[in-house]
Amino acid sequence: MSAGFRRSRLLGFDATRTGTPCKACRGEGDPPVPRCVFITGASSGLGAALAAHYAREGATLGLVARRADALQAVAARLPTPSALYPADVADRGALRAAADDFLGRHGVPDIVIANAGVSVGTLGAEDEDLPVLERVLRTNVVGLAATLAPFVAPMRSRGTGILAGIASIAGLRGLPGAGAYSASKAAAITWLESLRVELRGSGVSVVTICPGFIDTPMTRVNPYGMPFLLPAEEAARRIARAIDRKRSFAVVPWQMAVVGCFLRSLPNGVYDALTARRPRKPRKLPL
């Protein structure tokens, strides 16, 4: 067995292709055609890179982000039309309205990517960080669930579709100084797994993506080394490939899957000793 095949099996590679295009770009019996893709957190970083990736494929995009000006700047650089929705994923009403509008204009998307997220250092012993914990959980967990929920029934009725959530390798173990972020990503992983099992047999695939370190504004404030750091554009390409293959769980880059498995295998005492003095993400960053 080749090393590449062993790695593929370890990480769960799947060559399955995506489902039927939306009504705005359907061409039954024709060669592959552009798709409809709905992405949150699209104004910068990984979200903007994902938007650019799918735009190059000719996809019709629905893009959601809090910052309207930054979102418009991203859309202006794209070669395909985009429906823009300035909204905070923590605002479930605004997110539902964006989803309903996109469904009405373009039909059921082929891919929905719940990418929006926030990260900030927190300390469990500090009372003043409890509101920060609430904000991080509201965005990274409730916002993720609220992004995907409006599309579940339409995709199930059609019998195809991909719901993808961006979690993190940080969700595999609790990181000191980043308890809120680690907890939110652990919850996201578990939520997506539960949703995947609930939708088994429906034709709707649920994909959990756990990135390692990606060069984005979110990571540039980190005061520590970031092994296997990927440019956002390369990360987007790899993530899109995993989504197209309907991987149930994918770590990007694959080397971080090895790191994650190693950390998870460590006894608590060893893990504690290794990470207790690790540099920590700054607290009180803007969210």
Burial readout 196-216 (b: 16 or more C-beta within 10 A, e: otherwise):
beebeebebbbbbbbbbbbbb
Query: CA-CA-CA-CA torsion for 61, 62, 68, 70, nearest 10 degrees?
Result: -30
Residue 150: name the closest of 34, 36, 38, 22 by CA: 38
- As a whole number of angstroms, the distance between CA 36 and CA 228 comes to 31
SS3 208: strand
181 given a catalytic annotation: yes
C-alpha atoms less than 13 angstroms from C-alpha of 25 in its C-beta half-sphere: 22
**Selected catalytic residue, list 54, 181, 224, 271:** 181
In the chain, % helix, strand, coil (3-state, to 5) comes to: 45, 15, 40
- Residue 88 neighbours by CB under 8 Å, 6+ apart: 66, 94, 139, 143
> Which residues are identified as catalytic?
181
